[in-house]
Amino acid sequence: MSTEATPDPYADPLCFGQRMQILRERRGMSRTVLSGLLGMSPSWVKRIENGQLQPPGIDMVLRIAEALRVGNLADLTGRPDMRVDLFVGPGHPRLGAVRAAVDALPLGADREAPSIAHLRARLAKAWKARHEAPNHRDVVGGLLPDLIRDATLAVQQAQDPVAWREAQAVTSEVYSLAQFFIAYQPDASLLWRVAERGMLTAQQSGDPHTIGVSAWLLAQAHRDTGPAHFDAADAVTMDALRYLAPLLPDASHEVLAVAGALTFEAGYTAARRGEHGTAWRHWDAARAMAERLPADYYHPVSSFSRAVMGAHAVTIAVELHAGPESVRQATRADATAIPSRPRRARHHVEEARGYRLDGQRDAALATLERAYAVAPETIKYNGYARSIVLEGTESKSAPRRRRATELAGRIGLLAA
């Protein structure tokens, strides 16, 4: 093994600081960047890593895990009794069936593919279930396998170029739906296969809206992989926006909405980098696009709309680690205006992150309880929610500890 290679944190027993340094360097993150995300000084990070300071408490450990996107606390602490997955949720019971449909090679099918109209109707039903069902993953996971197989079959049996492109567009949207289902589950390679197939079929369809949606999801896949992939996320986002730009003066609501969603994604990534001005500039541009949409319009994939811009403002403030600003934006945002259950629950998770940043831990737990009431599966698979709940189970406040432990039990965080 090269002496310049990054050490394996499991090769020998390592102290907390050494593990923290190894995981930080694997992310390609400097001490300055990490310290900014933690609200501490670079010298504090250096002293922790060098063992000059004692390991921090559970609150800071969770903040470090969040900043480094550590999937499991044991990777950071070295303690096998803390093997708690944070950013990867439990595998859904329907994950295996969805994986099998994605991995299948349907050659020589002995049946006729459904019509494009029939596939679109089923897809619309699936999107409706995703937005309205509290157990949206369960419902969507049950519909996806047949949708994937039938859309693939429609592409194979297309009789002319127009029908082939239409089938590719439907297939791309099926993969977009599948990416929502697979996200935050323990199969990163499956997520990437789905994201890349969604982009490929979108390009083959030649449909601007379909291409925009697939680019939006592919950019998220890059960004959520970690700081080393932020440039790739930006490249996808900006390429898609340049492609859509000539269409925007006379764009349909769908195309304008997906351009708005991509513009916000550029701000989201900038906020992850800590770039305050750039993040809010993109948010302002996205808000201007939202104002061009009808007041009651709601994009069925990205949720982009006037209603969601308040929630997006909370996300920007939270990603910039601005606690008071996060709370201020949370008080301004109207969660009831968001019709999608999982998107509304996700907004509550972002609110909870803001309250946590502001030191309002009881408010954070109360907000997560609202998220659970709206869409239990959203909070169950959200790493930020899981870390806040886990932190609460270690609280010195007995009422807060009881409240967090009860919620942890409901989302399966403390299951054996």
How far is residue 166's CA from residue 147's CA, in Å, rounded to a whole number?
Answer: 15
Structural domains of the chain, count: 4
Among 43, 62, 82, identify where a domain stops: 82
How far is residue 396's CA from residue 391's CA, in Å, rounded to a whole number?
Answer: 10
* 161 and 228 both lie in a single domain: no
How far is residue 262's CA from residue 254's CA, in Å, rounded to a whole number?
Answer: 12
Nearest CA to 232 among 196, 206, 186?
196
- pLDDT digit string, tens, across residues 82-139: 555 555 566 899 999 999 999 997 776 678 999 999 999 999 999 999 999 999 999 9
Among 64, 82, 100, identify where a domain stops: 82
Among 151, 182, 206, identify where a domain stops: 206
* 37 and 128 both lie in a single domain: no
- pLDDT digit string, tens, across residues 28-80: 778 887 887 787 888 999 999 998 888 888 768 877 887 787 767 777 887 76
Total residues found in the chain within this entry: 416
Place of tokens 């923290």: 20
pTM of the predicted protein model: 0.82
In a domain? residue 4: no
CATH code at position 383: 1.25.40
274, 317 Cβ separation under 8 angstroms: no
In a domain? residue 289: no
Instruction: Report DSSP state, residue 72.
Output: B
Outline where 183-252 has alpha helix (H).
188-205, 208-225, 230-244
Residue numbers of the domain that contains 233: 208-282
In a domain? residue 28: yes
How far is residue 188's CA from residue 13's CA, in Å, rounded to a whole number?
Answer: 28
In one-letter notation, the amino acid at residue 200 is: L
Would you state the structure tokens that stand for residue 379, as one six-digit string? 């909070």
Please, what are the averages of pLDDT over each run of 10 residues along the chain (416 residues)?
Answer: 44 75 83 80 91 83 79 75 58 93 81 94 95 93 96 94 97 97 89 96 97 97 88 97 97 97 98 95 98 96 96 97 95 94 96 94 96 94 88 90 93 67
Task: Compute how many other C-beta atoms are within 10 angstroms of the C-beta atom of residue 39.
Answer: 12
Would you state the structure tokens that stand for residue 129, as one six-digit string? 């279930």
* 134 and 230 both lie in a single domain: no
